[in-house]
Amino acid sequence: MTAVRLRDGVELVMDSGDRVVCDANDPDGDVNVLSHAHGDHLYRNAPDEVICSALTAALARARREDEPHPRTVEDHPFVDLSPAGHIPGSRATLVTDPESGRRILYTGDCSTRERFGMDGLAPPDADVLVVETTYGRPEYEFAPQAELEREIVDFLDDTEGPLLLFGYTLGRAQGLQLLVERSSRTRPYVTEATERVNETIESVERVDYGARRYREDTELGEDDVLVLPSQTSKLTFVDHIVEETGATKVGFSGWATNSSFKFRGGYDETFVLSDHCDFSELVEVVEQVDPETVYTQHGFAEEFADHCVSLGYEAQALKRNQTSLGDF
């Protein structure tokens, strides 16, 4: 009997009794997996060893400089990693039960789109799929990636004055810098935290974001762009920049499909730019994997599980602390 459980992270229990624990705060599995280095997936207490990509390992060390870190490996007898398409270094995890041969795919956060030099998720066949459903409702449909990027670059070219672009320090910020590079704007400025992430990715991936460090005495010119963390959009120092320079505040997220996103962030303009699958892409992931059982987590887990049932799949939203979520 193999089981999927949502406890501290997602736990996959093999027929042998071995436990594969994915994205836990305090990983305690026989095998521990880290899908990517976003804070809501990154361990707080490091295990002895974790399976992840080399870039995710480097980003984890950079983001938790003063903490101990585990040994990291990319190879394991019954665990295979493949690009998840979410952020640099992100990986989906295919676990093959060593006794039954059953295959379980844990996507972590994922996107099937090719974006900013990253391959999209190309999901393999599996008997069981554990999929994130951040945008798991039909109203979340995003335009084709090339169209979205072209619209943003046109905005960068056509808007007068300095721009403040808001996005997550890891992932979104790097995409925004690459879009600025394609525009007529000068190189972007970034904060210390984003600079540290940039340097880590540049050292592993051999890319060059060409950004400059923003400091307190930096004066933004008419053609300058400052990339800032999303959570800073309403902070006092941002208000001061706007007052002094007349800068335009621009937010980027899949949530920008909702008009309330613009108000909540205090943005002047917003664009739908996401590191996740939209609803139709999530459906395509399920159909490509064609599993016997689908488990959903994050976002609209219940709604997407119901939709999978309507498509003929056995599906269930993962709920924390259930003893077992199903046998397969």
pLDDT digits (tens, 9 = 90+) for 133-180: 999 999 999 999 999 999 999 999 999 999 999 999 999 999 999 999
Say if residue 84's pLDDT is above 80. Answer: yes
pLDDT score at 64: 83
Give just the sign of the alpha carbon dihedral 232, 233, 236, 239.
Answer: positive
- Report CA Rg, the chain: 21
The β-bridge partners of 297 are 132
Domain limits of the chain? Answer: 3-138+276-317, 145-271
Say if residue 282's pLDDT is above 80. Answer: yes
pLDDT score at 322: 57
Residues 208-212: contacts with CB within 8 Å, 24+ apart? 209/174, 209/177, 209/178, 209/181, 210/177, 210/181, 211/177, 211/187, 212/187, 212/188
Rounded Cα distance between 172 and 211, Å, is 14
Helix, strand, coil abundance in the chain, percent, nearest 5: 30, 25, 50
Q: Let me know if the fold of 3-138+276-317 is the same as that of 145-271.
A: no
Split at pLDDT 50, 70, 90, the class of 186 is confident
**Could you tell me the pTM of the whole model?**
0.94
Q: Candidates 3.40.50.150, 3.30.980.10, 1.10.1740.10, 3.60.15.10; correct CATH number of 3-138+276-317?
A: 3.60.15.10
Phi and psi angles of residue 36, each rounded to the nearest 5 degrees, phi first: -165, 175
pLDDT score at 271: 98
The β-bridge partners of 106 are 93, 130
Asked if 227 and 167 touch (Cβ cutoff 8 Å), the reply is yes
Split at pLDDT 50, 70, 90, the class of 320 is confident
Give 77-146 as a DSSP string.
Answer: TTEEEEE-SSSTT-EEEEEE-TTT--EEEE--S---S-BTTBPPP-PPP-SEEEEE-TT-STT-----HH
Rounded Cα distance between 175 and 276, Å, is 13
4 sits in which H/E element: strand 3-7
pLDDT digits (tens, 9 = 90+) for 32-67: 999 999 999 999 999 999 999 999 999 999 988 877
pLDDT digits (tens, 9 = 90+) for 207-245: 999 999 999 899 999 999 999 999 999 999 999 999 999
Q: CB-hemisphere CA count at 13 Å for 67?
A: 14
Token pair belonging to 235: 């902070």
- In the numeric block, the tokens 């039909």 are attached to 138
pLDDT score at 2: 73
pLDDT score at 81: 98
Which letter does DSSP use for residue 23 in this model?
Answer: S
pLDDT digits (tens, 9 = 90+) for 87-132: 999 999 999 999 999 999 999 999 999 999 999 999 999 999 999 9
Greater model confidence, 246 or 323: 246
275 sits in which H/E element: none
Say if residue 290's pLDDT is above 60. Answer: yes
Say if residue 284's pLDDT is above 50. Answer: yes
145-271 placed in CATH 3.40.190.10: no
pLDDT score at 323: 42
Q: Going by DSSP bridges, is the β-strand pair 314-317/293-297 parallel, antiparallel, or unpaired?
A: parallel
